[in-house]
Structure formats: C-alpha cells, structure tokens
C-alpha cells in the first residue's frame, strides 16, 4: 500500500515539476496564472500523499501528527486547485458573479467534508 501512495504522490509532484520547469509559451500567456496554481496543487498534494505514506510506514508511531498534516495539506491543495479553476473561469469573462458564489460554496463544502482535524 505504501508503494501506491509513493507513486501517487510522485505523479502529482512530477506534474508540478513539469509545469514549473516547462514554463508557458508566449501564445498561451493567459494560462500563466492557472498553471501556476495547478503546479502549486501538484506540489502540495504530492507532499500530502507522501505524508500518508510516512504514516503507514511508521505504523502509527507518530501519533496524529502526520495524519493531521496530511489532512491539512489535502485541504489546502484542493483550495489551490479551485483557485486554478477560478482563474480559468475568469478568462472566459462570462457569469463571473455566479461562478464566484458557486466557488465559495464548493470550497466551504470541501473544508466541511474533510472534517475537523483530530488532535
């Protein structure tokens, strides 16, 4: 199971690294900000998956520390991913106010679904 979390985290981390190193071509300059947030999502989510892997390798010896770190990083990564989606939507310049309300509702539901972090 730890191998699955390692590969899963590596996939997200590799995505972020590729987006960071590659840069944005001049004809796609409008995608610079959404791709920046997508790279941030990849880095944060990859680290969150590796925190889950480390918790599994430690067999719970770390207490709730790595578990709470993984949950917090997962929540933050999905908020960053939603920023990327929001930036893409702003580029379309249609119904921005409606999307902003839906965006705030989805971010709130994401945090609520993750639940409180046990200490």
pLDDT tens string 20-69:
888 777 777 777 888 889 999 999 999 999 998 988 888 767 667 788 88
95 DSSP assignment: S
* Distance, CA of 85 to CA of 34 (rounded, Å): 7
Q: What is the pLDDT at residue 99?
A: 66
Q: What percent of the chain has pLDDT over 70?
A: 79
Q: How many domains is the chain partitioned into structurally? A: 1
What backbone torsions phi and psi does residue 23 show, to the nearest 5 degrees? 80, -175
pTM of the model: 0.74
Cite the DSSP H helix spans in 1-119: 2-22, 32-57, 65-92, 96-114
Q: What is the pLDDT at residue 42?
A: 94
Q: What is the dihedral of CA 119, 79, 96, 19, to 10 degrees?
A: 170
Q: Is the pLDDT of residue 119 over 50?
A: no
* Distance, CA of 77 to CA of 45 (rounded, Å): 5
Q: Is residue 12 part of a domain?
A: yes
Q: Which domain holds residue 85?
A: 2-114
Higher pLDDT, 21 or 85: 21
Structure tokens, 96: 């921005």
Q: Is residue 119 part of a domain?
A: no
């Amino acid at each position: 199971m730890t191998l699955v979390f390692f590969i899963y985290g590596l996939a997200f981390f590799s995505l972020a690294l590729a987006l960071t190193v590659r840069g944005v071509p001049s004809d796609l300059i409008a995608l610079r900000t959404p791709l920046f947030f997508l790279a941030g999502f990849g880095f944060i989510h990859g680290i969150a998956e590796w925190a889950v892997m480390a918790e599994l390798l430690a067999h719970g010896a770390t207490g709730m520390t790595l578990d709470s770190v993984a949950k917090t990083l997962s929540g933050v990564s999905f908020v960053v991913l939603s920023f990327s989606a929001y930036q893409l939507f702003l580029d379309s310049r249609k119904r921005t106010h409606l999307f902003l309300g839906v965006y705030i509702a989805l971010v709130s539901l994401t945090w609520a679904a993750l639940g409180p972090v046990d200490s």
